[in-house]
Structure 1
Amino acid sequence: MSKRGELRRSQLLAAAANRFWRQGFGNTSLADIASDANVPLGNVYYYFKTKQDIAAGVADIFVAETETMLREVAQAEADPRRRVQALIRRLSESNRSRVERGCPIALAARDFSEAAPAAARRAASAFELLIGFIGRELQRTGARPSIALSRAREIIVEWQGGIALAHALEDPTILAEAMRRAEQKLLQSNYQ
């Protein structure tokens, strides 16, 4: 595909991700996506045969962005606890948009599940990447694998639960408190 074609494809995926996040997969039409991307509707089919293909592309974006973030955190910090703290800080950078709209990854995993189940699973794998990263880093601090995995899940549950409740109640302090609790879980010293 040419550079211009890649740009158009990226524009369509960005527009779709934004629309899916704002109004849901089922309520978004190909015409909405094309309009938001400034691409003629007929050209959408050159890049994607179905809306399910677009969902798969959006899920791939979530995974790629998560992988990039984890790589950057790993490169920036050598200490395992600091790496997880840095990750929590990075996740907190999007608190405002999460309070306003919820988590785009969680919404995709839910919204894609009936019409595009493979895309739903792919979107959810971003959570698996986060849990795996945190678990491995906690193991590096001496935690047993089962404890490290449990703590990693607790941190992600705290984050996602905070997003859900903060979004529902339109209260950013709920998410800020959840992120502080996530960091406290990290700092708990009894991993054995």
Structure 2
Amino acid sequence: MTNSADRRAQASAKRQRLTAAAARVLHEQGVERTTLADIARAAGVPAGNVYYYFKTKDDLVRAALAEHGARLDEFTGRLERAAGPRDRLKALVESWIGERDVIARHGCPTGTLAAELGKRADDALGTEAGAVLRRLLDWAAGQFRELGLPGPEDLALTLVSGYQGMSLMAHALRDPDVMTREGARLLRWLDSLGTQGAPVAGSSRRSS
């Protein structure tokens, strides 16, 4: 019984290594350029063993997207310990700036996959990639809502669109400083909300 439990634990660990490697290699190389052998090599797993866990490359892509979603949930869970919603949002932006070198080389991990997968005739995986971005939008909207700001969904869209835009430009120009400059602009924008032309929800203005 112990041996059986050990085998299950080893199989689970090997599958997790493959999933984590898939998330990393697909980000670095893209879906079309990546082979199962590439992922097996990155995970330190014999290539023939990959098919025991994942029958096709699409299965591995799906697992990689789930990994991105799990990392996002873990990260936003840690951000919830921050003092307040504005601090959480600013910590999110600061984390994007901290990833500037990786993003300048490879782009946004989820955004680049969503863009590539969305061009397929079968857009199912592209939809799954979009769902990960939707989770980020929903989380950000929750923070803006907690701040009491009007239009929290629109504000979340502005924030995440800003991230995707600066990621794209940093990658296209191979210039990490794009992330630094645009990230600083987003931080200033977050500080201004509710104080400069963005009234807190529920505040009233006397009509002229």
CA distance in 2, matches of 1:32, 1:115: 25
1:112 is matched with 117
1:111 alignment partner AA: E
- The aligned residue for residue 138 of structure 1 is 144
- Percent identity of paired positions between Structure 1 and Structure 2: 29
CA deviation vs aligned residue, 1:29-58 (integer Å, no higher than 9, x gap): 112222222222221111011111101000
Partner of 1:168: 172
Map 1:40-55; keep pairs closer than 5 Å: 40-55=46-61
State the shift of 1:66 in Å: 0.5
What's 1:126 paired with?
A: 132
Structure 1 residues 152-186: Cα deviation after superposition (integer angstroms, max 9, x where no partner): 11111111111111111122221111111222222
Moved more, 57-66 or 133-142: 133-142
1:71 aligns with 2:89: no
Higher helix share: 1
**Which residue is 2:15 aligned to?**
9
Distance 2:106 2:25 in 1: 11
- Consecutive unaligned residues of structure 1, counting only runs of 5 or more, are none
The residue type paired with residue 116 of structure 2 is D
Q: Spell out the pairing of 1:24-63 with structure 2 (5 A cutoff).
A: 24-63=30-69
TM-score (normalised: structure 1): 0.90
CA separation of 1:80/1:65 partners in 2, compared to 1, >3 Å: closer, same or farther? same
Residues 124, 84 of structure 1: alpha-carbon distance in 2 compared, 3 angstrom cutoff: same
Q: Is 1:187 aligned with 2:186?
A: no
* TM-score, normalisation: structure 2: 0.83
Structure 2 counterpart of 1:67, which letter?
Answer: D
Q: For 1:86-132, what per-residue CA distance to the aligned partner results, in whole angstroms no more than 9, with x for missing partners?
A: 22222322122111211111111122332763332222222212211
Q: Which runs of 5+ in 2 are unaligned?
A: 1-6, 202-208
Q: Secondary structure at the match of 2:148?
A: coil
SS in 1 for 2:143: helix
Conserved 8 A contact 2:103-2:171: yes
Structure 2: distance between partners of 1:115 and 1:93: 35
RMSD of equivalent CA atoms: 1.8
Instruction: Work out the CA distance in 1 between the residues paired with 2:164 and 2:54.
Output: 31
Q: Which of 151, 176, 186 is equivalent to 2:155? A: 151
Number of equivalenced pairs: 189
Equivalent pair of 1:52/1:116 in contact (CA under 8 Å): no
Kept in 2: contact 1:103–1:163 (CA 8 A): yes
User: What does the per-residue CA deviation read over 1:49-95, in whole Å, with 9 as the maximum and x for residues that have no partner?
Assistant: 11111010000001010011111101x22422112112222232212
